[in-house]
Structure formats: structure tokens, C-alpha cells
Structure 1
Amino acid sequence: MKPVFILLFSSTWVLCGAQLYYQGLMDYLENRLLAIEDHMHLWQEQSRQYQVELQHLYKQSNKTMAGLKKTHSDLSVDLEAAAIRLERVERNMDVVGSQMSPRACAKQADRVVEQGVWSQEESRDEEEEDWKELPSRVTDCLEIVSSIRSMKILKRAGVSKGVWLRDPRSSKVYVFNGTMGDTIYQFQSVKEFASSSGVTLGHPIKLPSDWRGAGVALFNGFLYYIQQGEDMHVVRYDLLRSELTDVAILPVGSRAAVYSLNPETVADLAVDNQGLWLLYASDENEPNINLAKMDPVSLDIEQIWDTRCPRENSEAAFVVCGVVYVVYNTQLASRSRLQCVFDVNDKVVSEEEPLFYFPRRYGSHASLKYNPDEKQIYSWDDGYQILYRLTTKRKLLV
């Protein structure tokens, strides 16, 4: 009987212990579930709060964006109006600059000499000053550029820098694609060049040596170009016979660029109705552009001038009737402007010196080649071939 009682007691104790264990486990699990539910409620509350804040932020962002769009629209309108006013101011400045002297200060005697008028009182006031005899006239041309009448963008062909020009004595057009090479391309006319689909589709002409920079010119059927070697040379090439006719050493002591914005052009050649001209810098420290009159046959230097036109920020130049016109720009290409004028005869008075901007183009000229028969400039601007038609007038003093 006693063993049976012990067995029942043991079984009862085991069952009670197991019940207590499972009850504790159930209580633990229930508490954990309650804690998880509390956390879930907290997360839901926080999510609702975040959603409300996000919606508020979204509405605020939309409101801010609407305000920014309106401000941008207002700024665009203001900028367009400012651009219109700026263009109007530039036109007015061009008009004023063409009618007034850019030099506000000048000696009274200088103005009297320019006007060719003397009074007895002015003679007495200035009689003690030293006066030099004026040099003989280099050219008999009486014209000076007054403005740019029109601009025509012919096409865009080739690389960003190059030269194109037409011989004043023929209709043929010659294209120098790039800043150096030994091959140029010939077209029978401007119209043929305009209708061609590429620069290299013209008739190729292989030169006896490399040309470099924008220092090229055409005169009476001959091509003149700058050749760089141990010395600087100007080459005279007969286009009709396809033969080299002469080579001359240039008076250039260094490889200093004549135009600071086009460093590959060490020396430039220009042609007008008076002949062949050379523009260069005598050395690296020379601040101004030098000008030389050349014999187109012998290539001899006939006379040299200091133009007093600075090389800094210059991009190109051309010569019309013995007057040098230097065009300037900025390092970050903007509107080109004619800013310096030099007359080899010293007959251009300050009141008639043209100072004007080229038609609106935000580029930089690699070359400007004047054709005296057409009174046009053949320009290469960032790969565009452009024609500028000039307006001229008679000089005040001859």
C-alpha cells in the first residue's frame, strides 16, 4: 500500500510541476505578445505622425516650387528685357562712337592740324612748339571704313580655325582648313563653295611647304603664306603655273604671336588696293603690332611702322586703303569689336576713327581677309565662314 501511495504522490507532484511550468511559459508568451502589440501600436502611431509630416512637407515643397517657378519666370522676363536694353545701348554706343572721337583729350594744336585750320591767335600760342614735317603719302587711297553694312553666314565647314579668301582678280575661292598644313582647296566660286558638302571636296593644291596660322594672302594670282622653320619666311606661289616663285626672310626676331588670342599666327599677311602688307611682332616683349609694306614681286620690305595697337586681346586685323583695323575680343569669346585704327599716312582724324562691334555672334575670329574689289571681309569664326560687307567714306583730310 505504501509504495502505491508514494507512486501516486510522485505522479501528482510531477503533474503539478508540469502544469506550473506550462502556466509560466504561457504567461511569459502572453507578456511578450502584449509587449509586441504595444510596440506595434507605437510604430503605427509614429508612422501616422511621419505620414502627416510628409504630407505637410510635400505641400510645403509644392508651394515653394510654385514660388520658385514664378520667380524664375519673372527673372527670365527681366533678363530678356535687360538683353533688349543692352542691345539698344550697344547700338547707340556704336552710333555715338562713329560720330564722336574716342579720345576725349587732345592738344588743341593737334585738332587744328587735323582740321587744317589756323587762326592768328592760335598760331601765336603754338609758334614756340617744335613741328616735324609730315612724311610723304604712302597711298593715294581716300577711303576709310565707317561701319559694317551687313553680315552673311555662308556655311559651317571644316575645323574651328582656318582661312578662306577670294583672289580680287578672279572668282576662285581658296580654303585653308586648320592652322597648318601643305594642302589647300580651290573652288571655282563662292557659290560652288557654299553648295559643297565639305571643305575637302574642292580641288586640292599641294604647296611646296607648310603654311601656318592665318598669315596668308592672295594678290594678282599669287598666293603668299608664312612658312616657319629655323627662320620665318614669306613664300610667293604662282597658282596659275603651280610653282614656287620666291621666298624671303621676315624681320621677325622671335616666334611671338602677332595676335594674343590666336597664338598660332606669328605673322599675318593682308592685301588691299595698295598692295601687300605684313603684320607682326618684332619680339616677345613688343606690346604693339608692327606693320610693314612689302613689294609683292620682290618681297622686299619698303617701310615699317609701329601701329600703337596693342597685341593683348587682339584676334585679327585687316588693311583697307593703308589703314590698319585691329579687332579685339576676350579670352572667353564674346562679341568682337574694332578698337584700334592706324593710318600709315597719319591722315585719319580722331573724329572719324570707327569704333564698332561686329554683328552679334559669341565667337572669335580666326582670320579676317579683306577683298578690295568687293569691299567685303572673308571671315572664319569658330568653323563658320562669314562675309562682312563694309561701308566706306572719304577721309576728311587728303
Structure 2
Amino acid sequence: MWLQVSLFSLSGLLLSIQTQAQDRASLHRSNDPSGHCHYTFTVASPQESSCPGSDREMDGVLSRLTLLEALVSRLLAGVDKGTITGVGANREEGLQEAYSQVTGERNQLQQDKERLNRQIQELQRRLAELSQEAESLRQKPCQQTLTSVGTQHENRPANGMYQSGVLLRICISLPDPAYDFGNSGYQEMKAEVTEISASHVFHEGSCGELVSVGDPVSHRKADSITGKYGVWMQDPEPQGPQYTNNTVWRIDAVRRDVRHLFAYEDMDQFSRGFPMKVLVLPEPVESTGATVYRGSLYYQRRRSRTLIRYDLASEYLASRMDLPHAGFHGQHPYSWGGYTDIDLAVDEQGLWAIYSTSKARGAIVISQLNPESLEVKKTWETNIKKNTVANAFMVCGRLYTVASYTVPNTTINFAFDTATGVGQAVSVPFKNKYSYNSMVDYNHAQRKLYAWDNFHMVTYDIRLGRASHGRS
């Protein structure tokens, strides 16, 4: 368009020049800095009143400019029209496609809405039928009780504690004429659910032999060299409101004088690394054999066979007792070392000590302890050398040992049943994910193993089989 405007301007300029030009005028043509064509006329004297002989030349220039203007106008008109036509066609096609897509989606949404409405109506109908059937069952008492059996929770609460039990009573009623479909043998069955105590549920068969151990789940990684190995746990049977089964306890064991016990409100705070309290123990801790049970911390005093019960609520040393003949400070450790001579453990049957003596010549000795006084209630000797296994723990009165603390895919290789006094080789897969497992303990409320594997604090889900005869 700038070319067309320039031509019009040039025409006006030529007409003006024509009235004023002299006979010796000369025409010059050149480009300006912007690329436009400029014409310059020069005359000899501004006083001359006419330009003889110039009319024919100017007429020729005007004719050529007029023809050029017409050609440029037609060219521009054709280009604009083609461009506009193309753009318009493309835009119309795009709009048509978008409209078709939106229409299709709207139809699909309408169909989905109708389908969901039908499902809602069907669910409402079934709910009404079930409500009527439940009301009918409530009004009809059980006329004959066959049996009552205890069942355990397959899915425990998030905190792992048994809050209550469930007693399932199955009964058979006499034939109901309203439901007689020509079969005189038809009978209605109904289940009654009754809340019972957690202890009843436990004794109905929650204990059994260790069947499998799941993959390790990491909850936290220690942030300093003092966390190379240590012990962490939760109380399976807390006694007071100050600390619950959600409270997490931790001791970093890499120090000469280990006295700090870190308390975390729950697993989330433990993972974040924010303790709610730090307790200073009255006596230093030896290695990774400590445990928490019924509101007390149980641990071995450093460089001695003395066991200590520390009351967590009152922060008081409640009792202490020497474990008779027990090796200590490197005399009978696990294969990884770490002065793990005395390992305290807790399971469904109470508090245990796993250790060895000179009399047993390094073989594992198991003693069940009184949780109040720490006195030995009963002792068993096994035939497995303590320094040949990496770790040990108790489950349902059975001792289980871990073959290696470094091999990523190792096994639980030995079991000893205190009920029968019989030990046997087993092979339950176990993973040391971080290749330096310095502590393994069992929590019967959570039904998990807790472990400290090379700066990492991990848990393992476990599965138990059916309880053996003669055990409760």
C-alpha cells in the first residue's frame, strides 16, 4: 500500500511542477534512505514564466505513472483477496472441527451421566432391599446356636494395636414359611458380631511359626557418623498416657558413653528428625541390645553384665540385676561384633535375654525375665554358636537367627522353640538392603521387625503360620 500512496503523491508533485517548470528543466530520479523513488526537477531561473517544450515530456511521464498505478492496484487487490480467502477458509475449517469435537464430548458426557444415574438408582434399590432384609433378621431371634469361634483382625489399625476382638456366632433358625420355595430343607443362616477383649483374640491363634519376611521399608537415615548403627523401637504395650504405642524411641550406639534416648511423638516426626524429648540415661548403654516394653527401657550397662530397667514416665532407674554368667563386652557377640553380647527382646510372651556363657561355650542361651525385677524365670540352651549368626529375635516364644548382616539376600536360618526345647534349621528369605544390619527386633503389636541397617532405620512386615498344637 505504501507504493500506491507514493504514486499518488508523485502524481500531485508532477502536476505542480508542470505549472512552474522552465524550458531548461531537467528531471532526476533517485532512491531515498527508506527505499522510496524520488523525482527531482531543476530549472535554470525561477523568474522564467513558462517551460516551452516541456508539456510533451510531462504528458509521457504522467501516462506511464497512471499505467503503473493501475497495474499495482490490480496486483494488490488480487493478493489481498487470495490471502483473505485462504485465511478465511482455514479458520472456518478449524472452527468446524472444534465444534464437532465439543459436540461429541458433550454427547459422551450426557451418556455417562445417564449411565451413572441408572447405577445410582440400582444401588439405592439394592440398599433398600438389604435394609429390609437386615430389619427382618433383627426381628427374628436365633433359635439354635451351633458354635462360636474367635477370629483375629486380618487388617490391623494403622498403629498396629488390637483395639478389640470379634466373636462370630453362627446360628441356624427353623424354616421360615415366607421363604419356602418348595424346598423343605431350606434354612436361614445369620451371623451375630460381638465385641470381646483383645486378649481373647490373641489366644485364639494369632501366634504361629514365622513363614515369611517382607521387603524392608526405610523410615529414616541417620545424618551423622554416630548413626552408623544403633537401636530404635516402639513400645508394643505402653502403660500410660504420656507415651503411647505411636511413640518412637531411638539410641545412636556409636559413642564411648552412650546415654541419650531420643523420643519422637510418632513415626512421621521420627522420619522428619524432630524429637519431642531427649532423655539422659543414668548409666551408659552397651551396644544395640536395648528394647522398650510396658513403659520401660531395658538395656545392658556398658562393660558389664548388669541389666537395667529405666522407667520412661518417671525417668527413674527402676531396677537393675546382673544376668548370671553372661558374657559381656566382646566375649560372645554376634558375627558383626559391636559388643552385642546381651540382646534383650520382647514378644507375645514377655521379656527375653539372648546371650551366651562360658559353660555354653559360645552357644546361644535364652532366658525369660521378670519385666519388673529382671530376675531370670527360666533358661534354655541351644546348639547354635552366637558368633556364627548376625542377629536374633523372639517371636511367639521362638528364637530366630539371621545368617548374615552384609549379604543383601540372606536367610533366617535357625529357629528354637522354647515350648518344646527343640531347634531346627529353617530358610526364610531376609534382605539386608543397605549391607550392614546391626539390630533386628520384633514388635508383636505392629507385627513387624525393626532393624538398623547401615545408617537406615527400616521395618519388615512378617507373616506367621498357624499355631502349633500345645501353644496358646
Which bracket does the TM-score occupy, shorter chain normalised?
0.5 to 0.7
How much has 1:145 moved relative to structure 2?
1.2
Give the aligned partner of residue 312 of structure 1: 387
User: Are 2:262 and 2:279, in contact at CA under 8 Å, matched by a contact in 1?
Assistant: yes
Q: 1:210 to 1:397 in 2, by over 3 A?
A: same
- Residue by residue over 1:196-247, the C-alpha shift from the partner in whole angstroms, topping out at 9 and shown as x without a partner, is 27xxx55211000100111211111011000034x41100010011111101
How much is the aligned-residue C-alpha RMSD, in angstroms? 2.4
Aligned to 2:419: 345
CA distance in 1 between counterparts of 2:234 and 2:249 reads 6
Are 2:289 and 1:191 equivalent residues in the alignment?
no
Q: Identify the range of structure 1 (272-281 vs 358-367) with the bigger mean alpha-carbon deviation.
A: 358-367
Unaligned runs of 5+ in 2: 1-204, 239-244
SS of alignment partner, residue 214 of structure 1: coil
Residues 434 and 453, structure 2, Cα contact 8 Å, conserved in 1: no
CA contact (8 A) 2:327 2:342 kept: no
Label 1:235 to 1:267 Cα distance change in 2 as closer, same or farther (>3 A).
same
* Identity over aligned pairs, percent: 24
- Distance in 1, Cα, partners of 2:408 & 2:215: 19
Residue aligning to 1:214: 288
Contact 1:141 1:322 in 2 (8 A): no
Match of 1:114 in 2: none
> Could you tell me which amino acid in structure 1 is paired with residue 377 of structure 2?
E
Q: Which residue number corresponds to residue 307 of structure 2?
A: 234
Does the CA contact (< 8 Å) of 1:152 and 1:387 recur in 2? yes
* Partners of 1:309 and 1:341 within 8 A in 2: no
SS in structure 2 at match of 1:191: helix
Matched letter for residue 387 of structure 2: E
| 1:221 to 1:207, Cα distance in 2 relative to 1, 3 A | same
Residues 407 and 432 of structure 2 are in contact (CA less than 8 Å); yes or no, is this contact kept in structure 1? no
Q: Secondary structure at the match of 1:374?
A: coil
Secondary structure in 2 matching 1:355: strand
Q: How far, CA to CA, are the matches of 1:262 and 1:356 in structure 2?
A: 23
| Pairwise CA distance, 1:141 | 7.4
1:244 aligns with 2:317: yes
What is the aligned counterpart of 1:163 among 231, 244, 254? 231
- Rounded to whole Å, the distance in 2 between the matches of 1:272 and 1:212 is 21
Give the structure, 1 or 2, with the largest relative contact order (CA under 8 Å, sep 6 or more).
1
Aligned residue for 2:402? Answer: 327
Q: CA deviation at 1:284?
A: 9.0
Q: Does 1:392 align with 2:464?
A: yes
**1:268 aligned partner:** 343
For the Cα contact (< 8 Å) 1:173–1:188, is it kept in 2? Answer: yes
Amino acid at match of 2:300: I
Bigger helix share: 1
Helix, strand or coil at the partner of 1:380: strand
Compute the displacement of 1:151 (Å): 2.6
Matched length: 252
CA distance, structure 2, for counterparts of residue 143 and residue 285 of structure 1: 28
C-alpha displacement of 1:321: 0.7
> C-alpha separation between the residues in 2 aligned to 1:367 and 1:360?
11
Name structure 1 gaps, 5 residues minimum. 1-139
Residue 326 of structure 1 and its aligned partner are, at CA, apart by 0.7
The one of 366, 379, 390 aligned to 2:451? 379
**Alpha carbons 1:179, 1:264 under 8 Å: kept:** no
- Report the Cα offset of residue 354 of structure 1: 4.4
Distance 1:186 1:271 in 2: 19
Q: 1:202 to 1:314 in 2, by over 3 A?
A: farther
Task: Give the corresponding residue for 1:358.
Answer: 430
Distance verdict in 2 for CA 1:251–1:154, change over 3 Å: same
Tell me if the contact between 1:293 and 1:301 (Cα under 8 Å) persists in the aligned partners.
Answer: yes
2:298 is aligned with 1:224: yes
Q: What is the identity, as a one-letter code, of the residue corresponding to 2:465?
A: K
Structure whose alpha-carbon radius of gyration is higher: 2
Contact 2:311 2:318 in 1 (8 A): yes
AA at the equivalent of 2:466: R
How far apart in 2 are the matches of 1:394 and 1:174? 31
Q: TM-score, length-normalised on structure 1? A: 0.59
Q: For 1:177 and 1:312, locate their aligned partners in 2 and report how far apart those are by CA, in whole Å.
A: 23
Matched AA of 2:270: F
Structure 1's 314 and 183: CA in aligned 2 closer, same or farther, altered over 3 A? same
Aligned residue number for residue 375 of structure 2: 300
Following the alignment from structure 2 to structure 1, what is the Cα–Cα distance between the partners of residues 384 and 372?
28
Aligned-pair CA distance for 1:348: 7.3
Write out per-residue CA displacement over residues 127-160 of structure 1, whole angstroms, 9 at most, x where no aligned residue: xxxxxxxxxxxxx974121101343111211421
> Residues 155 and 284 of structure 1: is their aligned pair in 2 closer, same or farther, counting only changes over 3 Å?
farther
